[in-house]
Amino acid sequence: MENQFRREDAIILLHQWTQSESLRKHALAVETCVAAYGEAEADRLGLTGADHESDRDRLITLYSTTALLHDFDYEKHPTPDEHPFVGVRELERLGWPAETRTAILGHAQYSGVPRTTHLDKVLFACDELAGFLTACALVKPTKSIADVEVAGVKKKLKDKAFARGVNREDVYQSATELGVDLDAHIAFCLEAMKARAAELGLAGASA
């Protein structure tokens, strides 16, 4: 697996294409969850210690950059006819890895591209959920993700009036595809986002 691009390269591209602060924050939230799964996958594969440092860094960077760029074309090309296809063509032109492009295509259910790799499934599983967890945090009086709990998230998932833009079926289906319990998936993503709360703008109203 080759990945010549750094996280900084993905941030630059994201900012070139996306001016909306909320969309940029969404990219960071999804990256937070996906990168955490990348670290866990690196551990599972035994990519620990000095001998595996470069392989570990490459894998985590692949997960991180893919997540950052999954919606980078959405602001300019929001229709299903164009997103994420326009962005993926640009990534191909720039030489971004096939793994990144395939995962980005796969996160859109309507693309017809199957999700076969761990990265494919993780991106799909974290996309809608990261947005939902952000919404759960912002309705708290404190506006802090530190105050969001799994039970509250599951209760709000059942409330169709809350965060209407989040596709509940995708949340449920993606956890099944990833082979993880929904409660554990929510808890995992919550912990990842809590660790980067300030960067995500979710550290609280007084922060």
What is the Cα–Cα distance from 128 to 131, expressed in whole angstroms?
5
Which structural domains are found in the chain, ordered by start?
7-200 (1.10.3210)
Structure tokens at 188: 């995992």
Amino acid at site 101:
R
Reply yes or no: is the peptide bond before residue 84 cis, omega within 30 of 0.
yes
Separation in Å, CA 52 to CA 58, 59, 144: 10, 11, 36
Average pLDDT over residues 124-140: 96
Q: Is 189 helix (H, G, I), strand (E, B) or coil?
A: helix
Structure tokens at 83: 């997103």
Q: What is the pLDDT of residues 142-191, one digit of tens each?
A: 999 999 999 999 999 999 999 999 999 999 999 999 999 999 999 999 99
Among 156, 121, 120, 125, smallest CA distance to 138 is for 156
Average pLDDT over residues 135-148: 96
Q: Are 143 and 137 in contact (CB under 8 A)?
A: yes
What is the Cα–Cα distance from 193 to 12, expressed in whole angstroms?
22
pLDDT of residue 114: 96
DSSP tally for the chain: helices H, then strands E: 10, 0
Which residue bears the tokens 């709360």? 197
Which residue bears the tokens 């692949």? 62
Whole-prediction pTM: 0.94
pLDDT of residue 206: 57
What is the Cα–Cα distance from 52 to 50, expressed in whole angstroms?
5
Reply yes or no: is the peptide bond before residue 141 cis, omega within 30 of 0.
no
Q: What is the pLDDT of residues 169-180, one digit of tens each?
A: 999 999 999 999
What is the Cα–Cα distance from 85 to 105, expressed in whole angstroms?
7
Which residue bears the tokens 């990256």? 31
Partners of residue 156 on adjacent β-strands: none
